[in-house]
A = this chain, B = another copy of it.
Amino acid sequence: MQLSRFPAIEECIEAFRRLPGVGPKSAQRIVFHLLGKDPEAAGKIAASCEALHEKVGLCGTCSMLVEGEAGGSDCSVCGARDPGVICVVEEPADVFAVERAGGVKGRYHVLMGVISPLDGVEPEDLTVAKLIERVKAGDVKEVILALNPNMAGEGTSLYLAQVLKPLGVRVTQLAHGLPMGSHLEYADEMTLTRSLEGRREM
């Protein structure tokens, strides 16, 4: 008696295995949990996953997630906050992270990824054109680049700076350096170099 004789169980394990952070062993554990100790949970997951794409859309302006509003319409931030500042992030989840940290006094723009020629991701695959449009439309004084501090993020930031600066807008980038609560002794060289380069007058 092997798992291959249970197609419905195998299919469910396979569906969970594709999720980030879930390996084959944890996927199996999850499915046996759904079969045994928590039979309600399977129904809740099925219903909430189905509702996810029905109820959640993207803001027509900044590509942030919108829920409970007409698809394509502006999100609550685009309609309300200072249009003079745009904070550019990679993913919708990053907007929540910036908001948890107090947010920006301005609006957001979700790129939906980063430029990565090796993976076949070019500026045309992202919301770069929409960002340029927003800046060209006027009112924008500063674009804050808040992309992830890695190769792809840095490359995309450089590209965006080159494209946006000629439009007469101020382009800034989040500070890179030692994270709060860390130890200088254990900091990697790249981070330490960046924190030296970015040192501030006291």
A15 CB-CB contact with B under 8 Å: yes
A33 CB-CB contact with B under 8 Å: yes
Contact for A42 among B32, B43, B53, B68, CB less than 8 A: B53
A38 CB-CB contact with B under 8 Å: yes
Determine the main DSSP class of A at the interface with B.
helix
Contact with B along A24-38 (1 / 0, CB 8 A): 001011111111101
A13 to B75, CA, bound (A): 21
Contact with B along A80-105 (1 / 0, CB 8 A): 00000000000111011001100100
Q: Is the CB of A33 within 8 A of B49?
A: no
Chain A residues near B (Cβ < 8 Å)? 1-3, 5-9, 11-12, 14-16, 18-22, 26, 28-36, 38-39, 41-56, 64-65, 67-68, 75-77, 91-93, 95-96, 99-100, 103, 112
